[in-house]
Structure formats: C-alpha cells, structure tokens
Structure 1
C-alpha cells in the first residue's frame, strides 16, 4: 500500500500541524510514502535527510489549483498510490475527485482547529461539506472539534478521532532545564513557563497581567514566555509598564528539539487560552499541555475549545474558569506554587496519563487503521 500525502503544512516550516503531519509520517514505512508539499526556507536540506520522497511544488503555499492537481495526480499514478492523506483537509481536500480519477481508492483528510471557524460561516461551511463528501474519512482532534463539525458534516462522510500524540521518549521528566534557567537568569525560585505562539488567544497577556499578584506571594518567582508572534511588542511594553523586567522573560521561539528543556525549566506550565472572535478563533486541542505533562509538569489551561480535554482537573492540573481574569489565573498559579509537593504529584499523574492516552504509539496505530481500505 502506497500513500500520497498532500500537505501545505510540512517542516521545516514550524507549527502544530506541521509537527503533527511529520510525526505521523515518521511512524509509517518509508517506502510506503510520497509527499507533495509547498516550499519553505531550508526545505532542500530538510528533505535530503528524510527516508521517503518529498516533492516540493514551486510555491510557498500549496492550494488546490490546476497545477497542484496535475502534480498530485501525476505522483499518484507514477507511484501507484492507492491511498491519499491530506494533512489539512481544508482546502486541499478539494483535490479528492482528481486523485480518485488517478486511481486512489481511499482518501483521508485531517482537521485541526481552524475548521470549526469554517463551519460557522455559510460559504465556508458549504466548501467544507464539499471537501468532506469527497473523502472516505474526515478526522478530528478533540471531542470539542467533533461537536462543532459533526452537525454540519457528519452525514456526508465518516468521522474518526486522530489526535496529535506526544513523543514520550523526548518529552520526559528526565529533561534537564538547568541550562535554560542559567541562560535566562531565572534563579532558584519557582518558574512558570508558557510555550506557544504569542497571539491573543493563547493568553500570555493575561499571564503578564496576573504576574504582580503572583509576585506578591512569591517574590522570587519567574515567568518564562517561549515563542514568537505578533503579540510580542505589546507584551514587552506591558512588562516594562508594570516593572516586571526582572521577573518576566520573553525567550523568543526555540527549535523543536530544544522544547523539552524549556518545559523542564518550569515548575508549572500555564497557557490560559480563551476563545475569541465569536468562536472563530479557538483552541482545537493544545498539544503544549500534553508535552508539558509528559515532562512531569502540572498544567494550567484555559477554557477555549478542546483545551480542557488535555487536563484531568485537579489531578494533572487545572482549567481556569475565566481565562480572561488575571485574578483567577493568579489564584490558580499561586495555589500550585504554594504547595510544591502537590504540584509534583500532579506532574507525575500527568506523565502517567500521557503515556497511557496520548503517546504516538497509539496514535500511529489509529492512523494505520484509517489508511487501510
């Protein structure tokens, strides 16, 4: 069985979908894969190190254009692909009829989080229904996203859960955060870390607003914000205005291979995500919570979308009831920092839960089953 993977979201471009797709493919037999992807800086060196073939269309964004359709159909015929996987079903799933004509017998498309916004808009909802009707399986990442998608799409195709997984051999309590603490001068006091893009939905602005209240109880505490994005300038101004320059560190983005040590630098992980724009800007799941838990850290999540599904409330961490409230976020954080032993128990419980429920071993097996005609 040979699978054609058609995806705009693929390394070395960074992002959650890119990581998800690459991790799925890393657990498939290399000889069973051929990938059609867009180009991004560094793609030549990246692809040369892969054990399967990657064909880069000469564009920075892969869209269902006639040129991309011809390229995908040509690859399917040349390699005898009987299955196809769309790394993000919208909009590339529109290529499904072309691939069926090229001999592909089974088509699977993945959804992530942004599609929940599509189904809220009449025109986009019709496009998504058209995409789903051309697929044998449409996957969803969380119960939340299924709840948003199924009323509009469930009757036109089969839906199956395919959540991202965690590499439990890489994200582990054995990860060493000492060098990260030294690099940023975090000291020996308690550290709260957030790893994510700096955008309003993720809640770094609320963390900064809550931080003076945390410092009132834990003067030696530090907040480490890892990631880049459009909110960075505003966050830096807020840090300066509140006189938090010594206790809040914006580290910028870091390479994926260095994420475990950044999680390990914290005593707790927090990303109080919130839904915005009338439900159009929502957290589909939130892999960072699971990666932090795999590193043995208690997690603090917001209520947006599927984020609460990554936390066993009171066991592996907490979901802040109002993630827009600096007071509530501060109260949850100080509660964890007040009781380090309880925080450690939560971290251990989180690690055990990720091993049981969220490891790539189980996700890869589910993916293999979906590809089987």
Structure 2
C-alpha cells in the first residue's frame, strides 16, 4: 500500500496541524509515502532529510485548484498510490473525486478544530458536505468536535477518532528546564508556564489578570508565557501598566525541539482557553495540556471545546471557568499551596498520556484507518 498525502500544513512551517501530520508520517514505512505540499521558508533543507519524497507546489497556500489536482493525479499514477490522506480535509478534500478517478481506492480526510466553524455557517457547510461525500472516512480529534461535525456530516461519510499524540520520549519528566530558568531569570521560586500562540482564545490575558492574586499568596512565583503571536504587544503593555514586569516573562517564539525544556521549567501548566465568536473560534483538543502532563506537570485548562478531554479533572489537573481571573488564580494557587498534591497530579498525567495519548497508540490507529 502506498499513500499520497496532500497537505497545506507541513513542516518546516510551525503549527499544531503541521506537527500532527509530520508525526503521523514519521511512523509510517517510508516507502509507503509520497507527499504533495506547499512551500514555506526552509523547505528544501527539511525535505532533503526526509526518507520519503515530497513534492512542493510553488505556492505558500495549497488549494484545490486544477493545477494541484493535476500534480496530485500525476503522483498517484507515478507512484502507484492506492490510498490518499488529506492532512486537513477542508478544503483539499475537494480533490478526492479526481484522485478516485485516477485509481485511489481509499480516501481519508482529517479534521481538527476549525471545521466545527465551517459546519456552523450555511455556505461553508455546503462545502463540507461536498468534501465529506467524496471521502471514505473523515476523522475527528475529540468527542467535542465529533458532536459538532456529526449532525451535518455523519450521513455522508464514515467517521472515526484520530487524535494527535505526544512524543513521550521527548516530553518527559526527565526534561531539564534549568537552562530556561537561568536564561529568563526565573529564580528558585515556583513557575507557572503557558505554551501556546499568543491569541485571545488561549487566555494569556486572563492569566496576566489573575497573576496579582497568585502573587499575593506566592510572591516569589513567576509566570512564563512561551510563544509569539498577535496578542504579544497588548500583553506586554498590560504587564508594564500593572507593574508585573518582574514576575511575568514572555519568551517569544520557541523552536519545537526546545519546547520540552520550557515545559520542564515550570511547576504548573496553565492555559485558560475560551470559546469566542459565537463558537466559531474554539479549542479542538489542546495538545499542550497533554505535552505538559507528559512532562509531569499538573495542568489548569479552560472549558473551550475539546480542552476538558485533555484533562482528567481533579486527577491530572483542573478545568476552570476561563473568563474568570478569580477561578484561574484559585486553581493555580491551590496547586502551588500543595506541591505534593501537584506532583501526584503530574505523575497521574504522565501515566495517562503514556497509556492513551502516545504516538505509538495513535500511529496504530492511523494505520488501521488507512487500511480500512
């Protein structure tokens, strides 16, 4: 069996879908893959190190155009592909009929989080209907996204869960955060860490608003916000206006290989994600909660979308009202007040990720779904 992977979301461009697709492919036999993707800075060096062929269309955004369809069909015929996988079904799944006509027997498309917004709007819902009707299987990442997608699509295509996984060898309690602590002057006190893009849905603004309440009980604590994004300037202004510059650190963007050390620099992970725009801007799952748990950290999560599925509430962490700085601060201070309980939650999280969320488990599921 050889699989054509058609994806706009592929490294070296960073992002959750890119990481998801690359990790799935890393665990497939190299001779079973060929990839059609868009270009992003550094793609030549990245592709040269891969054990399977990658064809890049001369565009930064891969869309289901006639030119993309021609290239995809050509690859199917050249490499004898009998299966196809769309890294994000919308909109590239529109290519499915052309690939089936070229001889592909099984077509699988993945959904993530944004498709829940697509099915909520009449125009894009019709597009999702077309995409689903051309596929043999549509995957979803969480029960939350399934409940949003299934009413519109389950009568058109089979559906199955395919969640992202965690590299439990990279994200581990043995990761060393000492260098990160030194680099950012975090000292020896407790550190609350948040790893995510700086966008409104992720809730870093609520963390900053809650932070004075945490400092009132733990004056030596530090808040480490890892990542970049459009909210950065506003966050820096708020931090300066409230005199929190000595206890809140923004790292800016961090390369993926450095993320385990940044998690390890923390004692508690917190990201109070919230749903916005009438449900159109929602957390599909929240892999950062699982990566943090794999590193042995207790987590504090918001209620958005599938995020509660990435936490065993009261066991591996807490799920809180994400729009309430008081609730967020209470959950964080409770963990800082009782380090032994926090460590026990972190250990429980690590065990749960190893059992349910490791890439070994997810890769086996992916192989079964491809094979039908």
What interval of TM-score do these two structures reach, taking the shorter chain for normalisation?
Answer: over 0.9
Match of 2:323 in 1: 324
Counterparts of 1:137 and 1:35, CA distance in 2: 19
Match of 1:239 in 2: 239
The within-5 A match list for 1:76-95 is: 76-95=76-95
Over the aligned positions, Cα root-mean-square deviation in angstroms equals: 0.4
Match of 1:313 in 2: 313
Counterparts of 2:342 and 2:334, CA distance in 1: 9
Q: Deviations 1:57-81 (Å, cap 9, x if unpaired)? A: 0000000000000000110111000
Match of 2:298 in 1: 298
The alignment partner of 1:108 has SS state of strand
Match of 2:266 in 1: 266
Match of 2:339 in 1: 340
Match of 2:112 in 1: 112
Match of 2:356 in 1: 357
Counterparts of 2:102 and 2:252, CA distance in 1: 45
Counterparts of 1:242 and 1:112, CA distance in 2: 37
Deviation at 1:324, TM superposition (A): 0.6
User: Within the alignment, does 1:369 sit opposite 2:368 as a pair?
Assistant: yes
The within-5 A match list for 1:149-188 is: 149-188=149-188
Deviation at 1:225, TM superposition (A): 0.2
The alignment partner of 1:81 has SS state of coil
Counterparts of 1:314 and 1:253, CA distance in 2: 31
The alignment partner of 2:109 has SS state of strand
How many positions carry a matched residue from both structures? 372
The alignment partner of 1:45 has SS state of helix
Deviation at 1:112, TM superposition (A): 0.1
Match of 2:229 in 1: 229
Deviation at 1:90, TM superposition (A): 0.1
Q: Deviations 1:295-327 (Å, cap 9, x if unpaired)? A: 00000000000000000011000000x211111
Deviation at 1:288, TM superposition (A): 0.3
Counterparts of 1:48 and 1:104, CA distance in 2: 27
Give unpaired runs (5+ residues) of structure 1: none
Counterparts of 1:345 and 1:212, CA distance in 2: 26
The alignment partner of 1:126 has SS state of helix
Counterparts of 2:41 and 2:323, CA distance in 1: 36
Deviation at 1:181, TM superposition (A): 0.4
Counterparts of 1:299 and 1:73, CA distance in 2: 45
Counterparts of 2:29 and 2:255, CA distance in 1: 26
Q: TM-score, normalised by structure 2?
A: 1.00
Q: Deviations 1:153-179 (Å, cap 9, x if unpaired)? A: 001000000000000011000000011
Counterparts of 2:369 and 2:70, CA distance in 1: 25
Match of 2:123 in 1: 123
Query: Where do 4+ consecutive residues of structure 1 move more than 4 Å?
Result: none
User: Within the alignment, does 1:135 sit opposite 2:166 as a pair?
Assistant: no
Match of 1:49 in 2: 49
Counterparts of 2:270 and 2:356, CA distance in 1: 21
Deviation at 1:251, TM superposition (A): 0.3
Match of 1:201 in 2: 201
Deviation at 1:128, TM superposition (A): 0.3
